[in-house]
Structure 1
Amino acid sequence: MIRPLSRGIGVALAVGVALALAIPSSPLPAAAEVAPDTPALNWVVNTAPGGPSEETLRAAIADAGGTFLISYPEIGVTVVRAPEGGFAAQLRDLPWVQSVGPTRTSTTPDRLPDPAESAAGVTEEPEAMPAEGTAWDTVAVGATTPGGAGVVVGVADNGIDAGHPDLADRIDPALSVGCGIKGVPDTRPAAWAPEAGLSGAHGTHVAGSIAGAADGAGIRGIAPDARVAAIKVDNQTGHIYPEASICATMWAVRHDIPVVNHSYYVDPWYVWCAGDETQSAALEALRRTYAYAHEQGVVSVAAVGNEAQDLATMTTDVVSPNDGAPEPRPVDSSCLKALAGLPDVISVAAADQDETSGAVVMARFSNYGAGTVTVTAPGVVWSAVTRQDDGSIYALFPGTSMASPHVAGLAARLLAADPQDTLIVLDLANAGAVGGRAVVDIDLTAFADVEVPVPPVGEVERTARGLRWTLTLDSAQKAQLQIPATSGDDPAFPVVAVR
């Protein structure tokens, strides 16, 4: 059963656009001594950007019983390790502190997991895997030709197998880093290597979808001529805490990585609520980070999640905190999915291919919701994985985690090609909805100029923010809208809402 997006209408997107990004390249702040592995939490301390001095910060943190980990003065965010108790209250009394809050509920110390066995030297391919360049997802996004040359894409995930035959010459080790241990950058190869087993294959799969080599064998990425930087953000338990996500994005800003894929949500809260004192400070730190990255020209792409959840109408969270004892809790409009719900992040839902009709439809597992999804991309795909117990190095994975790298790969292609003319292609399919009527609002404010196209079905009208396509599709019918546009100097992706 294919879960439809809003009355059975699924959406897939392919775009071409000019991007011109410039990123400063000053070094990251040096990390101070890391706190010993005693029962403690990690915290964020938010101050006004640009002050106080690091010396003042360190002194205040130490006086309150904490240990300074790392600070980002340009966004006013400092990461600290400290026991629970009076630490937060003491810092909140300081006039230059705007907010203080924990990033987790577990006191388990972070450490590196055991590394995976590399797929180096393996060439066997599963019979079921499509031939290179022929997979439905590659065709659907129009990425059957070379692309991405000269562009580095950060893969903020659980590591990449540097020896995989489709990725061995695509990884940039000088730009790779581990961020999952207390959010402090670690450039040792062991710090960004994946862990053993299927759980460690995720980042390699994502990297393959982005930049798998076009070498006539194995799989082929959406931007096969691009390179990737492995930015490992998980710890030994698989959790990805706010400080790791912040570290990953600030690393990208400081090291001229123009596109970063984030196929995860930030632990331990399924959604983060600004009205909750235990979550508001970390959410504010994430908001500052991704707003700053956007200002500096970094394209941040994130998956919306796989719970078949309408994120726009969600009222109860039953899975948080996922590093402790989850308890049902009410949530409201102040709560958002991090990272996909942040305003400066491209949020990606997943599409699938209907086995009977071949139509591109909303994947049954994908989260969705009005105003919560920027684009939809293929999310059931073959790609590279770390070497598994049975010797396999390729796998078919479903997930919005697999959809997000398609958009990151497209961004790399666009950066490399630098076209001025853009063609936005929207594919819609009726997955069996009664009536089959859809209203598609297309926000095109990121584009410099847009023509009103003549649709094959229905009517298109101009709105204050772009275009509205109103149409009716019979059961299993498909329709495609092609929108000629001209991009400006900034990354341009349309925001599509279907109702």
Structure 2
Amino acid sequence: MRRGSSRLARAAVAVAAGLAVTVASVGATGVAPVGGASGEAQARRPYLVFYADGARAEAERAVREAGGALRAQGGDPRLGYVVADGAGGFARALSGSDAVVGVSSNRRIGTARGIRAASVARAVPAVDKDLAGHADLTGAIGSAPEPLADRQWDMKMIGATAEKSYAGAPGDKRVLVGVIDTGVDGKHPDIAPNFNRELSRNFVVDKPTDPNGEKLDGACEHTGCKDPVDVDDDGHGTHVASTIASPINGLGVAGVAPRVTIVNVRAGQDSGLFFLKPSLDALTYAADAGIDVVNMSYYIDPWLFNCEDNPADSPEERLEQRGIIVGMQRALDYARGKGVTLISAIGNGATDLGNPERDATSPDYPLGKERTRKIDNSCLNVPAESKGVISVSAVGPDKVKTGYSDYGIEQTDLTAPGGDATDGDATKGILAAAPENVVRAQGLVGADGMPKSSSVVRDCKGATCAYYQYLQGTSMAAPHATGVAAILISRFGRGGQGAKGGADGLTMDPAEVQRLLYQTAVPLACPVPRRHSYQNQSHECEGDSVRNGFYGRGLVDAANAATVKP
């Protein structure tokens, strides 16, 4: 099967949901909607029109012949697309042109739902726990664990501890890790020391409601409905960033690579939607800004699976799905060609991606349009199945693939701790930083500042207090792999293009990073029997201990990455 896309949307896994991303809309990235007094003008909207190699002129001609109007700005020759305004039937008219390989509209088409690892809070009884008052443990790397280290079973599993990887390979600040997600709380006390605000970018504009007036992102808090680059109103991106690189500072937790630099490259809406255009912009920016590795815990909507030629879909729908597949692959290729290692969550749909049979959640935008359609192995989950992307499945504390995690012998590259709280024990999730505004909005923190649920923990160092949350999902697994990649780049990367084209950064061939990730992973064999039973389902593991559909090449290991020889 061709590696194509992965529906990794940052989605919340309340216990076992499916991954989801959203297809970017042109409007969401600042392209003004077409206005006008006539009904025809009001019906027009912008589209991303992807053209075949060397066929831009022909594609532009096809756009005009279809009644569309090309925009002078918004396209990107690096990725081979133009932006055009078109009315109803525009995409169908373009479907007959050999010069056009995909068309995606600017509708809000998707919701990220499986990967965002649900706040296990809803399934866990509330338990207040005051963890304030820890002693100041700041010191040399490896001298002492962080205050909440005993809760980080995930870090112990992969050897990211004071006694192992931290002691010799905590990471290098010159390594830039891009978090393509819902944003990063750059002011969080356990992220701020490693957060680069200057390099961070936000490629989305908040949308209070959808076209039908239903709440999406909610009220705008900032001018122009664009959040600052150090804001995360969802919490998903902050959790991911913390797992990768929370510093060793005597407060809370430490990430896999506690000395590398976090850069927020935001492509997700507050509501968890991930549109195509912001994702394209995020990847090209990461490539040109000297980012070394990106974490993508999401998938592009509105299609959980993107099928190029599914008889169950209309010509317009097929063209839209081709646009997602082609557009993302071009952006991923561009980034990888500039030295960006690409890591993605595999998805939370509990699906064998090598043998999918039906998709009951697409198209998930506009709301209420979902239908059940038959699909097959030609349909792709983006970006998890895209070429050049390292896809990561999730295991629980028992090192067994979780029931919610997608899998597949051709799709799974590595595995990592993602959490498994299906029994209601929140502490079996992954603990990482949470924005205070988010946990308060979720009702998980009381007026006195104390947690109201065992899914949230507060830690204080002196007068500084911070919040942490247990989440689960392949969204939580991927950043463990990203952190290990950052360790490898810190150790073996060479001087090269740094931030803004400077020569103070480190760079490493993504193919070499991938090779060492595989080499340092701890092989995990398929369970016995191969068909493993979960609460209400069973999954069959194909392959052997060298590579299989549950664990790929094995469990990522920071301690091995800290000591491996090139």
Specify if TM > 0.5.
yes
AA aligned to 2:188 is: H
The partner residue of 1:370 within 389, 409, 418 is: 409
Write the distance in 2 (CA, Å) between the matches of 1:147 and 1:133: 18
Write the distance in 1 (CA, Å) between the matches of 2:30 and 2:403: 46
* Structure 2 contact 52–101 (Cα < 8 Å) conserved: no
Query: What are the Cα deviations for residues 443-462 of structure 1, in whole angstroms up to 9, with x where unaligned?
Result: 79xxxxxxxxxxxxxxxxxx
Query: What are the Cα deviations for residues 24-80 of structure 1, in whole angstroms up to 9, with x where unaligned?
Result: xxxxxxx98522475555532122457748xx7999599614646522212212344
Write the distance in 2 (CA, Å) between the matches of 1:338 and 1:317: 14
- Asked if 1:313 corresponds to 2:368, the answer is no
1:136 corresponds to: 153
Stretches of structure 1 that go unaligned for 5 or more consecutive residues are: 1-30, 109-123, 355-359, 445-466, 470-481, 488-499
- Asked if 1:64 corresponds to 2:68, the answer is yes
1:333 corresponds to: 377
Partner SS for 1:273: coil
Partner SS for 2:470: strand
2:292 corresponds to: 258
**Structure 1 stretch 225-234 or stretch 420-429: which is displaced more?**
420-429
AA aligned to 1:251 is: Y
AA aligned to 2:396 is: D
2:486 corresponds to: 412
Q: 1:194 to 1:365 in 2, by over 3 A?
A: farther
Q: 1:32 to 1:133 in 2, by over 3 A?
A: closer
* Structure 1 contact 64–90 (Cα < 8 Å) conserved: no
- Asked if 1:87 corresponds to 2:90, the answer is yes
1:382 corresponds to: 431
The partner residue of 1:190 within 227, 241, 248 is: 227
Write the distance in 2 (CA, Å) between the matches of 1:244 and 1:235: 10
Write the distance in 1 (CA, Å) between the matches of 2:64 and 2:284: 24
Partner SS for 1:205: helix
- Alpha-carbon offset, residue 99 of structure 1: 2.4
Q: 1:94 to 1:203 in 2, by over 3 A?
A: same
The number of equivalent residue pairs is 395
Which protein is richer in helix relative to its size? 2
AA aligned to 1:321 is: P
- Asked if 1:76 corresponds to 2:49, the answer is no
**Structure 1 stretch 164-173 or stretch 202-211: which is displaced more?**
164-173
Query: What are the Cα deviations for residues 126-156 of structure 1, in whole angstroms up to 9, with x where unaligned?
Result: 89x9844452221222222022431111101
Q: 1:139 to 1:289 in 2, by over 3 A?
A: same
Write the distance in 1 (CA, Å) between the matches of 2:291 and 2:237: 17
AA aligned to 1:220 is: A
- Asked if 1:442 corresponds to 2:546, the answer is yes
AA aligned to 1:374 is: D
* Structure 1 contact 263–302 (Cα < 8 Å) conserved: yes
Which protein is richer in strand relative to its size? 1
- Alpha-carbon offset, residue 296 of structure 1: 2.1
Summarize the alignment of residues 349-360 of structure 1 with structure 2, pairs less than 5 Å apart: 349-354=393-398, 360=399
- Alpha-carbon offset, residue 181 of structure 1: 3.9
Write the distance in 1 (CA, Å) between the matches of 2:224 and 2:193: 18
Q: 1:69 to 1:265 in 2, by over 3 A?
A: farther
Write the distance in 2 (CA, Å) between the matches of 1:156 and 1:132: 26
Partner SS for 2:344: strand
- Asked if 1:35 corresponds to 2:36, the answer is no
Write the distance in 2 (CA, Å) between the matches of 1:205 and 1:327: 32
Write the distance in 2 (CA, Å) between the matches of 1:177 and 1:161: 13
1:171 corresponds to: 195
* Structure 1 contact 153–258 (Cα < 8 Å) conserved: yes
AA aligned to 1:176 is: S
Partner SS for 1:173: coil
2:422 corresponds to: none
* Structure 1 contact 233–244 (Cα < 8 Å) conserved: yes
Query: What are the Cα deviations for residues 267-304 of structure 1, in whole angstroms up to 9, with x where unaligned?
Result: 11111112123311221111111122222221111111
Write the distance in 1 (CA, Å) between the matches of 2:31 and 2:325: 25
Write the distance in 2 (CA, Å) between the matches of 1:308 and 1:57: 44
- Alpha-carbon offset, residue 192 of structure 1: 3.6
- Alpha-carbon offset, residue 428 of structure 1: 2.9
* Structure 2 contact 182–270 (Cα < 8 Å) conserved: no
Q: 1:443 to 1:268 in 2, by over 3 A?
A: same
Taking structure 2 as the reference length, the TM-score comes to 0.61
Write the distance in 2 (CA, Å) between the matches of 1:126 and 1:335: 50
Summarize the alignment of residues 288-299 of structure 1 with structure 2, pairs less than 5 Å apart: 288-299=330-341
Partner SS for 1:78: strand
* Structure 1 contact 317–328 (Cα < 8 Å) conserved: yes
Partner SS for 2:179: strand
Taking structure 1 as the reference length, the TM-score comes to 0.69
- Asked if 1:156 corresponds to 2:252, the answer is no
2:307 corresponds to: 273
Write the distance in 2 (CA, Å) between the matches of 1:238 and 1:187: 19
* Structure 1 contact 209–383 (Cα < 8 Å) conserved: yes
AA aligned to 1:353 is: P
Identity of aligned residues (%): 28
Q: 1:295 to 1:217 in 2, by over 3 A?
A: same
Partner SS for 1:362: coil
Write the distance in 1 (CA, Å) between the matches of 2:224 and 2:196: 12
